Structure 1
């Protein structure tokens, strides 16, 4: 009998992290690993990944930083189950819970994610503009990729609520939506760090990685861009090192 929802097992961080994920729907890729490489954390931190999917970003971070109290938040029960199994298969302690990031404070508190209880949040929210991007016919993929008018603000607000004062949010978003990210972070966050990500050196940025501190007061910092590929299409050495887990991005350096 054919599996109605088949999966593949894929290697990340140069093969050191093995993740099982659905063949159809949203599949983890470069964005998750870049997000992990941009996230600063220390042993003992309570770290929460919003919209974790199969756990790629959170587990990649935990593979680098041992001793985290890691929580993977995912609204899809099947993906949460895969995230739980992926954590176990890689020998990483993590809790994977079924919870909608846009649920209210009471739902978060019931899940032991009350206000001011988390050191680090990382997230790769749905960020495609429905007015400019045709949604996928695959329902799970569309939910994972297409933002509503309230997605960004709701996710940023949820992170602000659970973060301790001085805790940090790290997120990845499409580069042409940077103004929306800065507006969403305008309340309650400061000490912003920004890294543009380009597909090739001669092309506009396609992603931005942003780290923001709850209650931070330091000025905005913009680092030199990361180029994923040379003009010829060959991956750059710097991108290869990050994606293989050999190095991290400046915002993750403690």
Structure 2
């Protein structure tokens, strides 16, 4: 992700087993992640910062746990389930939960599963249908019809699904949330039509917050919030700009990406 802060983490230390040990949120969060393939960055931290308080949260497509664990660091009373289809990344997410200070393992469950199977009788027991009051969602961004898939299997799995298939993730979020529960997601602006179509009839009170890499640049991400079962009309929220004209991180970028603060009430 391009934007205000040049590196996804505050520092990066290579390890002996093909992983790096990266500091995020000014060192309040440390993540082991593969040196090759998909790597956590600003998107996960922006998503975590956009989510309101919750007692029971689920992070779909969690990867190594970046968004969910960043949320758990900010909300120290939340119980969290991280869902990841790649077993190696799911194992890293569990390791990452246990290595934080304080250790988050007692309130973080990791589930290795396909999002499409969640909340169904034939799916995994956890996360349970209708039990969450927040679902965080960072679905794969790149529609393979418009983007050439990465030759690296892990990166392709993390980045490439058709825009229309985001509805599969939205249906899963609806199953997992209690009535009135909150959805928070991040995606590309180019997917807005598919996102609104998938939300229709399932979620309302939709809020859309554009994220711009610099002043005058087109938005390159959208932060979207919604409430299950509501019918309130959608609204645009004030945009976020990650860097000033000289390329320096904006005050809000520093607040979110380094200090671990929230973006603000919706």
Q: Which aligned pairs between 1:1-254 and structure 2 lie closer than 5 A?
A: 6-42=18-54, 45-90=55-100, 91-92=103-104, 93-103=107-117, 105-108=120-123, 110-148=124-162, 150-251=164-265
Q: Tell me if structure 1 keeps the 8 A contact 2:145–2:162.
A: no
CA distance in 2, matches of 1:187, 1:127: 23
CA distance in 1, matches of 2:205, 2:149: 35
Relative to 1, partners in 2 of residues 1:5 and 1:51: Cα closer, same or farther, differing over 3 Å? farther
CA distance in 1, matches of 2:260, 2:126: 34
Q: Tell me if structure 2 keeps the 8 A contact 1:5–1:23.
A: no
Relative to 1, partners in 2 of residues 1:107 and 1:72: Cα closer, same or farther, differing over 3 Å? farther
Q: Tell me if structure 1 keeps the 8 A contact 2:64–2:92.
A: yes
Please report how far the alpha carbon of residue 177 of structure 1 lies from its aligned counterpart in structure 2 after TM superposition: 1.5
Q: Tell me if structure 2 keeps the 8 A contact 1:211–1:251.
A: no
Q: Tell me if structure 2 keeps the 8 A contact 1:21–1:54.
A: yes
State the Cα RMSD in Å.
1.7
CA distance in 1, matches of 2:110, 2:166: 22
Q: Tell me if structure 2 keeps the 8 A contact 1:54–1:79.
A: yes
Please report how far the alpha carbon of residue 103 of structure 1 lies from its aligned counterpart in structure 2 after TM superposition: 2.3
CA distance in 1, matches of 2:201, 2:231: 12
CA distance in 2, matches of 1:11, 1:71: 22
CA distance in 2, matches of 1:80, 1:16: 21
Q: Which runs of 5+ in 1 are unaligned?
A: none
State the TM-score, normalizing by the size of structure 1: 0.92
CA distance in 1, matches of 2:198, 2:83: 21
Helix, strand or coil at the partner of 1:82: helix
Q: Which runs of 5+ in 2 are unaligned?
A: 1-14
